[in-house]
Chain A
Amino acid sequence: MKAAAQEKFAFNKENEEVFQETLKKYPTKMAVLLPALWLCQKQNGHLTDEILEYVAGRLDLSPVHVYSVVEFYTMYHRRPPGKYHLQLCRTLSCTLCGCEELREHLAKRLGIAPGEKTRDGLFSLEEVECLGSCGTAPVMRVNEVYCENLNLEKVDKIIEMCKADKPLEEEPMGAH
């Protein structure tokens, strides 16, 4: 029996509209590369070779250019991250406030090292550089949500929330 042909990647209707709007905002097509990659990642979760070729085609760029740009930036995923992608800050202010202990705790609790994904695909762990939230250190981004003023209990609670598929809320930002 023949395997069903994999569907070719293309922007869905909504993203195609955003893409067309974005093209109008820049004098060159190349400038739309980063926005286009974000859009693909939003649609597919990660960026496959096929997607990179697709983007190159849509923007009249050489595929090599697209590959080299994607490699340069840390936030584009070439492989599927976990459903919850944990990005724990490791820079100075977070270190001064105990992020190393959180990393050890997370690694033990999830059974993975930074750079890895749990077998069930639920969590991936990444150590990242300063997230621009040093006043509420230590800090971790869970997908797009900033989790601030962390301690061991809070980290455990976040893991439980994710496991229960409950949405995480950012704490309201204070005046300082």
Chain B
Amino acid sequence: MSPRIISINFDKPDAHKLSVYEASGGYGSLQKLFTMPPDEVIEHVKNSGLRGRGGAGFSAGMKWSFVPKDTDKPKYLCVNADEGEPGTFKDRKILQLDPHMMIEGVIICCYAVGIHTAYVYVRGEYVKPARRLQAAIDEAYAKGYLGKNIQGTGFDLDVVIHMGAGAYICGEETGLIESLEGKKGQPRAKPPYPAVIGVFGCPTVVNNVETLSALPFIMNEGWQAYAKLGTEKSTGTMLFSISGSVERPGVYEGEFGVNLWDFIERSTGGVRGGRKLKAVIPGGSSSSILTADEARSTYLDYESIAAAGSMVGSGAIMVLSEEDCVVKALEVVARFYAHESCGQCPQCREGTYFISQIARRIENGEGSMEDIEKILDTCPLLMGVTVCVLADSIAMPAKSYIEKFREEFDQHVKEKHCPYRSAERKSAVL
């Protein structure tokens, strides 16, 4: 069994209530926190090796240390609860099942960086999770964990929920900042990074919900206890959202460094209906696809998955069985990025649409061999040339789908139809 840190309360009844959270030691880290100088807290988190769980995997403590100390401007925390990466559904669990753990993490982060206002940017669809979170925030205010002079320490902190309104790009940190300011969520060119110039022109930390939820453990048990878990560079545990063609899809917490397929199989019971494994998409739809063999021989940590040519991303693992069509998957994924491109960079705006149209044509049996090459030729034109990496997020997977499952694409062209469609239909009625 993997150790459980973030999901430890998920199966406790009423874990979202303050009394239940407190009964299991919740908010216990604050006593220690307020006796430590803020810089020491940052060092502590740095030493734990905790990396961002929103997708980029950047060291949390390092990011905090980039915030200027000598500024007279206010500083802000933006909690990223936009959760839009297809396949990801773990922040919704945290918000709904254990919101206090995140709030405790917010307090830790804000104290360390000297922040007095935190905005939680929740995707517009998450009405119920947002209600749960608001109730938890209200309870925390009433108990003196938030607000003025927290626990008599003189430290003030306000937490405000801000609802998004339907746009994947607002999960990108500078898109989020623009959106929070009341604009279209179009990402900004970096540098300057948000740590220096973020929301309202002020230094800003952007962290994912899950990243923050790991902080109470790190404060309570010490950074050594966290760093001991996982591998040298991928420390601790992560919530993996596993979906697609598996028996028991769901959110499973795993310690880094385990065998990828082993973990999926142990957690979910393996491929649905006893079918054969075809492929695994390990880190959200922005990540490159792994063949069954690759999934079986790869380990689940940032370095190993990168070495296999993909990424851990947001921990969204999607499983394809022998009856699932890779061309269909590309059509659906490409359509997503075309739909979600914010439109400011021409390469992204046109490129995502171009790829999605061709993928659709091939899937519908109307594509040609040149069409397959056209996608492959387009991919490099989308990489590393835009303000944010949304364009890369379709270019990399598209290339990998075609390179690793070329025969499926060829078959669609030659047979002029999707050979999986009938099988797909069959599986759908089950």
Contacts and interface: CB of A to CB of B under 8 A. Distances in A.
Interface of A: 25-35, 37-38, 59, 61, 65, 68-69, 72-76, 87, 90-93, 95-98, 100-101, 128-137, 141, 144, 146, 152, 170, 173-176
Given A28-B181, A131-B125, A174 B164 contact: no
Interface stretch (B139-147, B215-223, B242-250): B242-250
Contacts of B74: 27
B363 to A, nearest CB: 11
A73 B340 CA distance: 10
A169 to B, nearest CB: 11
A30 B178 CA distance: 11
B93 interface: yes
Interface string B222-257: 000000000000000000011111001111100000
A91 B336 contact: yes
B318 A92 contact: yes
B318 A93 contact: yes
Contacts of B244: 92-93, 96-97, 134
The listed residue with most A CB atoms (<10 A of its CB), out of B7, B162, B165, B179, is B165
A146 to B, nearest CB: 7
Contacts of A97: 244-245, 428
Contacts of B83: 132
Contacts of A144: 127-128
Contact of B332 (A26, A28, A90): A90
Contacts of A174: 250
Given A69-B184, A129-B336, A173-B96, A95 B328 contact: yes
B390 to A, nearest CB: 13
A23 B130 CA distance: 19
B166 interface: yes
Interface string B278-298: 000100010000000000000
A170 to B, nearest CB: 6
Contacts of B168: 129
A163 B164 CA distance: 30
Nearest to A173: B96
Given A73-B166, A74-B165, A135 B285 contact: no
B316 interface: yes
Given A28-B181, A38-B165, A137-B249, A146 B86 contact: no
B165 A37 contact: yes
20 contacts: A28-B182, A32-B182, A73-B167, A73-B185, A74-B167, A75-B165, A75-B166, A87-B125, A92-B87, A92-B281, A95-B332, A96-B245, A129-B84, A129-B336, A129-B339, A131-B125, A135-B242, A135-B250, A136-B249, A176-B252
Given A92-B87, A130-B86, A135 B183 contact: no
A135 B165 contact: no
The 10 closest A-B pairs by CB, nearest first: A176-B250, A98-B428, A74-B166, A33-B182, A75-B166, A73-B165, A30-B182, A175-B11, A134-B243, A93-B243
